[in-house]
Amino acid sequence: MRTARSFAAETRLGLVRRARRMNRALATAFPAAHCELDFRNAFELAVATILSAQCTDVRVNQTTPALFARYPDAKAFAEADRAELEEYIRPTGFFRNKANSLIGLGQAVTDDYDGELPATMDALVKLPGIGRKTANVILGNAFGVPGITVDTHFGRLVRRWGWTTEEDPVKVEHAVGALIERKEWTDLSHRVIFHGRRVCHARKPACGACILAADCPSYGLGPTDPAAAAALIKGPEAEHLLELVGR
């Protein structure tokens, strides 16, 4: 295990090599990492991502089947009765603000893009309800354009790993993008988010059962005892993750 002093003395080249090594380890840990929101097209992904603010992906996925059956396209959202739409999305929280965003999104996409969501960052971030994070989700998962999605898990983990000290999501995105090959950005985002949800928890990371332990400057923040750490692993990949660390 590396010492805190060795991480402090790390060169830029050393950081790049460590970050890419960690990304490769995450690819082994989560070979099927993916966007956990259900969608059939780019517009549905935009809607689901807007709904996911301050809400779990599971709850969004429980909400969207009925929502998309009632509002199948941008035009339907543009013409939606606000009170009715709010009832459909109420379970996701902040439903009034989200209804405003969805109606505005539907109107903008219908009026300006003939009902089809645009596929560029510049155009997406001008749409109601879509900021840079949401745009990267859409670009990476609906259009195949590499993007880094800096959500709560992603920012927390890359700071723990010493990849950056930045707090601003856009600065985090650029800092990490300078470390990792562009073609890996979308998959990296999924892998880091999966790791944050399953292993590197906010309050009690499973340090003693983590495949990244040797490369992590924050090792020891959570329990290092293998058995205690193993009990903290969550998700359907738990058995696979524990096998990778010899448990």
Cα dihedral sign, 27-28-29-31: positive
Catalytic residue among 38, 57, 73, 151: 151
**In the annotation, is 122 catalytic?**
no
For the chain, state the CA radius of gyration: 20
CA distance between the termini of the chain: 18
Catalytic (active site) residue 151:
yes
Retrieve residue 11's tokens. 């060169």
Q: Are 216 and 161 in contact (CB under 8 A)?
A: yes
Angle at 217 between CA 4 and CA 179, to 5 degrees: 120
Contact in structure between 145 and 157 (CB atoms under 8 Å): no
State how far the alpha carbon of 214 is from the alpha carbons of 3, 17, 132, 186, 217, in Å: 10, 13, 33, 24, 8
User: Which sign does the torsion angle of CA 67, 68, 74, 79 carry?
Assistant: negative
Task: Determine the length of the chain.
Answer: 247
Q: Are 229 and 207 in contact (CB under 8 A)?
A: yes
Contacting residues for 40 by C-beta, under 8 A, at least 6 apart: 68
Q: Which residues are catalytic?
A: 133, 151
